[in-house]
Amino acid sequence: MIALNYNKTFFLKSYAKMTDIEIKDGVEIAFIGYSNSGKSSVINALTNQKKLVRFSKTPGRTQLINFFEVCSDFRMVDLPGYGYAKAPIFIQSKWQKIIYNYLKNRNEIKVFVLIMDIRHPLKKLDKKIIDIALNKKVFILILLNKCDKLKMAQCQKQFKIVYEQLRLFLHSMEILLFSSYKKIGIQKCQLILNNFYNLYITKHQ
Ligand SMILES: Nc1nc2c(ncn2[C@@H]2O[C@H](COP(=O)(O)OP(=O)(O)O)[C@@H](O)[C@H]2O)c(=O)[nH]1
Ligand SMILES: [Mg+2]
């Protein structure tokens, strides 16, 4: 069992369109969520780096598909956030299409990491992402991020709400309390991703 060294992650390349992506094979982990849910902060926390993924106070700024390499066969992909209310509708729907297209058609994706603000879980577009993953039979790792914002009892209550709503699908997903600020859930998340890497290399050696 190989443990990945997440600290060595580096920025690989950005793409505006799926058809431009020339990277192939290996394991890809797609980071998905509403803009401002904390995708960039989560990737920075997982890789123990402060500025690997630029994040700004202006949500919705990431408008590219950004690839980060953990090792030669394992990449993290930061997708544009969906549902940025201040962006014009046509821009929103354009980006939604790019995200859906990438998630549906990219075979390298082995895990969807769906990031939600623990205070507002399972919004409309989150459910759509879950549908795509279930149809594709891809594992979903749900991170209830910003759990530092709530007391433990409230965190558990929110966890239970999400757990109950997804009860039928728990065979292909895992739900974790997470905080990129307080570094909660990082190790568990890394272990789960390590498993997918090991599955891949066992099949391909
Ligand atoms: N309290 C708290 N705030 C967070 C956490 N993760 C991200 N944030 C904040 O949420 C905002 C959006 O984060 P960002 O990573 O840019 O989200 P993205 O738009 O999904 O990439 C920023 O102001 C972050 O500082 C967390 O775990 N706890
Ligand atoms: Mg971001």
Mutate to test the pocket of ligand 1, among 39, 55, 117, 144 (most ligand atoms within 8 A of CB): 55
Domain containing residue 12:
6-204
pLDDT in tens, 114-154: 999 999 999 999 999 999 999 999 999 999 999 999 999 99
Give the chain's end-to-end CA distance (angstroms, integer). 13
58-102 tens-digit pLDDT: 555 557 889 999 999 999 999 988 877 777 888 788 888 888 999
Tally of domains within the chain: 1
pLDDT in tens, 173-194: 999 999 999 999 999 999 999 9
Is the sign of the CA dihedral 44, 139, 35, 87 positive or negative?
positive
Q: Is residue 123 part of a domain?
A: yes
| Calpha distance 93→51 (Å, rounded) | 29
Structural domain contains residue 42: yes
The reply to whether 1 falls in a domain is no
CATH code for position 196: 3.40.50.300
**pLDDT-based confidence at 52, cuts 50/70/90?**
confident
- Closest ligand to the CA of 42: 1
Q: Residues with beta carbon < 5 A to ion ligand 2? A: 39-40, 55, 62
CA nearest ligand 1 atom 7, residue: 38
